[in-house]
Amino acid sequence: MIGPKAFPAGAQSMRVALSAIAMLGACGASQGSAGSPPAVPATVQTAQPAPSALAEPAAGAIGGVQYRGRLTQGGWIRGTAPKGTQLVSLGGTTLPLAPDGTFFAAFDRDAPASLVLAVTAASGFSLSTELAVAPRSWRIESVNVAKRPGKLPDAEFKARREAELARIGAARARESDAEGWRQTMLWPAAGRISGEFGAQRIYRGEPGAYHAGIDLAAPQGAEIRAPADGVVTLAASAAPFTLEGHLLILDHGMGLTSAFLHCSDLVVQEGDTVMQGQLIGHVGMTGRATGPHLHWALTWRGRRLDPRLFASPSR
Ligand SMILES: [Zn+2]
C-alpha cells in the first residue's frame, strides 16, 4: 500500500516520482483480500456510490458525426465522421480520425460536467455541441489520522525510481497502430473487485491520492489476459519496479493504454503484438502490495479512466 509522503522543499525528483505513482494508480484506498490487511484507521465518514450510478451507454449525432459511449467521469466515446471531415475536437483536444473516420475520446475521473464537441465538415462548415459528462460520487473515506509522513527513501531507491519513471514515460509516449481502442474490453483476470477506481481517503481534511485503477482479487499465479488488442510498450520482466513490481503496459492505439501492476511474471516482451484474450502474465504481489491482486489501470492521453466502464458487464 502506498501512502502519501511528505518531502522536504527541493526534493524535486521525489515530487516527480509521486506524480508518476499517481499516474499508474498505486493502490491506496483499498487493497486485495489476501495477505495481512493494512491497518485501517478509524473511519469517520464513508460515501459509497451505488453501482447503478454508472451511466448507461448513450448515443448522439452532430453534423453527420455519430457517437456513442459512456458519457460520465472515467468513461469514453467512440464515433464516426463522414468522409472528408476536416476536424473533430473534444474539449479543445483534436481527435485523430482513423482511415474509416472512426475516433475515440475518454473522460478523466475529474472531467468537468460538460465538454464542447466541435466538428468542421468537409465543406468547412463548423458545428459544436455541449456534451454532458455525468458526475460520479466517489468512495471517499474521511479518516481521523494525519497523512503519514513516511520515511524518506534512500539514495538507491531514488536512483532506481528515476530510471523506472524514464521507462514509464517512454512507454506512454510510444503510439502504436493497435486497434484495441475499437473493442469492448474483457476483464483481464477473474476475481471480485477489491478496490474501486476513484476511491480516495481524506486524512484530517488533507486529501490523499485517489485510486487510479481497479483491483481484482485473484490468487497468486492466476492468469492475466489482454483485455483488448495491443502492443507491449513496457515489460518489467527482469527486475520488478520498486512500486509497481513486474509491470506491463499495453498500448491499445489512439492514446488508450492499460497498465497491469504487481504481476508474479510476464509472458510477453516489449514490442510484442498481443490479441484480445491472449495470456500476458500472472497475478502476484511484486512491488508495493499487501497481497496478491491485479491492479488494472486505463489511461487516455493523461486522463485516468474507470476500467468498469470499458469492460463488458459479465465477468
Ligand atoms: Zn490498486
Paired with 200 in beta bridges are 140
pLDDT given for residue 36 in this prediction? 37
Nearest-5° Cα angle at 22, 293 to 268? 50
**Could you tell me if 136 and 72 are in contact, meaning their C-beta atoms sit under 8 angstroms apart?**
yes
Between 146 and 121, name the one with better pLDDT.
121
- Whether 305 and 204 map to the same domain: the answer is yes
- Whether 192 and 277 map to the same domain: the answer is yes
pLDDT band at residue 143, thresholds of 50, 70 and 90?
confident
pLDDT band at residue 220, thresholds of 50, 70 and 90?
very high
The three-state secondary structure class of 215 is strand
**Could you tell me if 143 and 203 are in contact, meaning their C-beta atoms sit under 8 angstroms apart?**
yes
Distance 315 CA to ligand 1 centre (A): 18
User: How far is 79 from 189, CA to CA, in rounded Å?
Assistant: 28
Distance 117 CA to ligand 1 centre (A): 32
Mean confidence (pLDDT) of the chain: 85
Q: Is residue 3 part of a domain?
A: no
pLDDT given for residue 297 in this prediction? 97
Residues 144-161 have a mean pLDDT of 79
Largest CA distance in the chain: 63
pLDDT band at residue 27, thresholds of 50, 70 and 90?
low
Residues 174-197 have a mean pLDDT of 95
pTM: 0.83
Instruction: Give the pLDDT confidence of 35-61 residue by residue, as tens digits.
Output: 333 444 444 444 444 444 577 889 999
Domains in the chain: how many in total? 2
Nearest-5° Cα angle at 296, 298 to 183? 55
- Whether 146 and 238 map to the same domain: the answer is yes
pLDDT given for residue 267 in this prediction? 98
Count the neighbouring beta carbons within 10 Å of the beta carbon of residue 74: 28
Q: Is residue 7 part of a domain?
A: no
Nearest-5° Cα angle at 80, 95 to 62? 90
Q: Is residue 191 part of a domain?
A: yes
Residues 219-225 have a mean pLDDT of 98
Least confident range from 146-150, 225-229, 255-259, 297-301: namely 146-150
Distance 199 CA to ligand 1 centre (A): 10
Residues in the chain: 315
Unique residue bearing C-alpha cell 509521486? 18
Looking at 132, 149, 167, which one is the last position of a domain? Answer: 132
Amino acid at residue number 314 = S
pLDDT at 117 over 90: yes
Distance 299 CA to ligand 1 centre (A): 14
**Could you tell me if 29 and 43 are in contact, meaning their C-beta atoms sit under 8 angstroms apart?**
no
Domain, as residue range, for 231: 12-44+138-309
User: How far is 142 from 40, CA to CA, in rounded Å?
Assistant: 12
Q: How many CA atoms lie within 13 A of 198 on its CB side?
A: 24
pLDDT given for residue 314 in this prediction? 59
User: Phi/psi zone of residue 307: left (φ > 0), alpha (ψ -120 to 50 degrees), beta?
Assistant: alpha
**Could you tell me if 211 and 27 are in contact, meaning their C-beta atoms sit under 8 angstroms apart?**
yes
All cell numbers assigned to 53? 450510478
Distance 29 CA to ligand 1 centre (A): 8
Looking at 88, 117, 132, which one is the last position of a domain? Answer: 132
- Whether 154 and 179 map to the same domain: the answer is yes
What does 227-267 look like in DSSP terms, one character per residue?
Answer: SS-EEEEEE--SS-BTTTBEEEEEE-STTEEEEEEEESEE-
Distance 278 CA to ligand 1 centre (A): 22
Distance 306 CA to ligand 1 centre (A): 12
pLDDT band at residue 149, thresholds of 50, 70 and 90?
low
CATH code of the domain in which 286 resides: 2.70.70.10
Looking at 132, 158, 177, which one is the last position of a domain? Answer: 132
- Whether 123 and 142 map to the same domain: the answer is no
Distance 181 CA to ligand 1 centre (A): 22
Of the chain, the end-to-end C-alpha distance in Å amounts to 26
Distance 290 CA to ligand 1 centre (A): 10
- Residue 307 is given by DSSP the state G
Q: How many CA atoms lie within 13 A of 231 on its CB side?
A: 15
- Whether 113 and 184 map to the same domain: the answer is no
User: How far is 70 from 59, CA to CA, in rounded Å?
Assistant: 9
Q: Is residue 4 part of a domain?
A: no
Instruction: Give the pLDDT confidence of 274-313 residue by residue, as tens digits.
Output: 999 999 999 999 999 999 999 999 999 999 999 999 997 7
pLDDT at 32 over 80: no
pLDDT given for residue 153 in this prediction? 72
Distance 212 CA to ligand 1 centre (A): 7
User: How far is 216 from 45, CA to CA, in rounded Å?
Assistant: 25
Count the neighbouring beta carbons within 10 Å of the beta carbon of residue 53: 11
